[in-house]
Amino acid sequence: MEAVSGPKPVTHVIFDMDGLLLDTEKFYTEVQEIILARYNKTFDWSLKAKMMGRKAIEAARVFVEETGISDSLSAEDFLVEREEMLRKLFPTSDLMPGASRLIKHLHAKGIPFCLATG
């Protein structure tokens, strides 16, 4: 019979940035709503769900194709415009609840952590 042991200690932590440490997800929605408003289109949850978890260029293709604006705006141009708008908004983002406390705790315990993002 195999011995059951307790949880192993945390040795390292890798964080995703968007929506985990920083409250940036709302900016993606805001920017995409602004872009679509020029074409009298709306950004809704079903479109966002189709875009989530994809590489940026794949999500951009979904965005322009699903909204019917691909003849007016390429996926590549959409990304350039979106990134420019996001760069202005990101510095205003707030930490997610508990993020500061967790980072301070990890630092105090000497547990290395890093940030990874798409």
Active site (catalytic) residues: 16, 18
Q: Are 17 and 117 a contacting pair, CB within 8 Å? A: yes
Residue with tokens 């952590």: 113
Q: How many residues does the chain have?
A: 118
Closest listed residue to residue 15, CA positions, set 98, 103, 104? 103
102 phi-psi bin (left φ>0, alpha ψ -120 to 50, beta other): alpha
Which residues lie closer than 8 Å to 3 by C-beta, 6 or more apart? none
